[in-house]
Amino acid sequence: MAKRPWLALFRALRGYLCVVRWPIRVCVIAACVLVAVVAAALSWLPAPASAAERPVRHFLHPDVPRPNAADIIERPAAGHAHGPLLLFLPATRAVPSDYLAFADTATRVGYHVLSLEYHNTGRSIARTCQVDATCYTSVQTNRLNGGTPSRFSRVGHEGGILPRFAAAIGAANRRDPAGQWSQYLSLDRPVWKDIVVAGHSQGGGEAAFISHLHALRGVIMFSSPVDDDRGVIPTWMHAPGATPTSRMYGFDDAGDIYAGRIVGSWRAMGLRSAIDTGAPVAGAHLFVTHYDLGTPVQAHDRSVTDASPGAATGHPVFEAQWTWMLRHTFSPVRPTTITARSSDSVHTGRT
């Protein structure tokens, strides 16, 4: 059956070429060459994912006040029914739909994914707090639980990450019962041992804060936390947290406008040695790439959003690094090597 389309194309080309009065032998040779060229060109196109490979994805529209962009749930279509949950928190003024490529990468590893909308509008925490060490703790606490408001942040209960998480899990279980989303919630509390929290920029800072309060399965921080300002760090960073550093991973680009503050925050959390290359190596927990992501502001944005190079085509250049961190937090079995899905090469230098 697979040969028939090529045979039909050959006959059509041969017929057309003969109509223009080419000799029959020339027509046959020319048609063969054209068919071979078309076949070679099509071979470079990525094969469409099968139904079993495509993730199950739903957009959940929360019945809450602003910000109220849709939460997104995603899971593998088959297998990993009891795999861990990846809770993803977007950057300031970003929304869950800005991170579809990363969510797809996580589902290929085997995660259930909840990309959660939360109160991340207005000024970023970095601009709000600057060198006020108590401000960071106050703002992050308020945005996490929706209580204890202060002059820095006045998020109400319905806007807190934890209440929104519980509401989203309930909505996910109703929308996609086959996903068994309720396994990640017990008595309206997250089952932290089965949850990896990841986030970008402000969302990554909140992920780090959650990892300080609760023993997570893992935490992944993209271009974050941006919490060290001229040596001043949040008060919560002054003591070790509940999640050990062996379960913490960070990713940034050297051109990031906040690179110095981010590395300073990693050090304050006990993560001392950044890998000054994009290539995953055994034992790596921190990555600082040197890929040309544009301006310093764009470099901050493009470490994990769908604006990352290659993300729009389904082959993000940082997929190997993303997958490395996701696999290392997925299970106690720690892989030592990894190959990028789209290519055997990993971009580590400016281009």
Tell me: do 14 and 127 sit in the same domain. no
Tell me: do 135 and 218 sit in the same domain. yes
The answer to whether residue 9 is domain-embedded is: yes
The answer to whether residue 150 is domain-embedded is: yes
From the CA atom positions of the chain, what is the Rg in Å? 24
Tell me: do 215 and 255 sit in the same domain. yes
Tally of CB atoms within 10 A around 144: 20
Number of helical (H) and strand (E) elements in the chain, helices listed first = 10, 10
Q: What is the CATH number of the domain that holds 235?
A: 3.40.50
pLDDT at 143: 87
User: Token digits for 176?
Assistant: 């996609």
Give the separation between CA 251 and CA 245, rounded to whole angstroms: 15
Contacts with 199 (C-beta within 8 Å, 6 or more apart), sequence order: 88, 89, 90, 91, 205, 206, 207, 220, 221, 222, 224
* H/E stretch holding 138: helix 133-145
Residue 247 domain boundaries: 56-330
Tell me: do 35 and 96 sit in the same domain. no
The answer to whether residue 335 is domain-embedded is: no
pLDDT at 223: 97
The answer to whether residue 144 is domain-embedded is: yes
User: Token digits for 296?
Assistant: 């310093």
Q: What is the pLDDT along the chain (351 residues), one digit of tens a residue?
A: 444 555 565 566 556 555 555 566 555 565 565 555 445 444 433 444 554 567 899 998 866 666 678 899 999 988 777 899 999 999 999 999 999 999 999 999 999 999 999 888 777 788 888 888 888 888 888 889 888 887 878 777 778 899 999 999 999 999 999 999 999 999 989 999 999 999 999 999 999 999 999 999 999 999 999 988 888 889 999 999 999 999 999 999 999 999 999 999 999 999 977 776 656 777 788 999 999 999 999 999 999 999 999 988 888 999 999 999 999 999 744 434 333 333 323 333 333
The answer to whether residue 349 is domain-embedded is: no
- The widest CA-to-CA distance across the chain, in whole angstroms, is 86
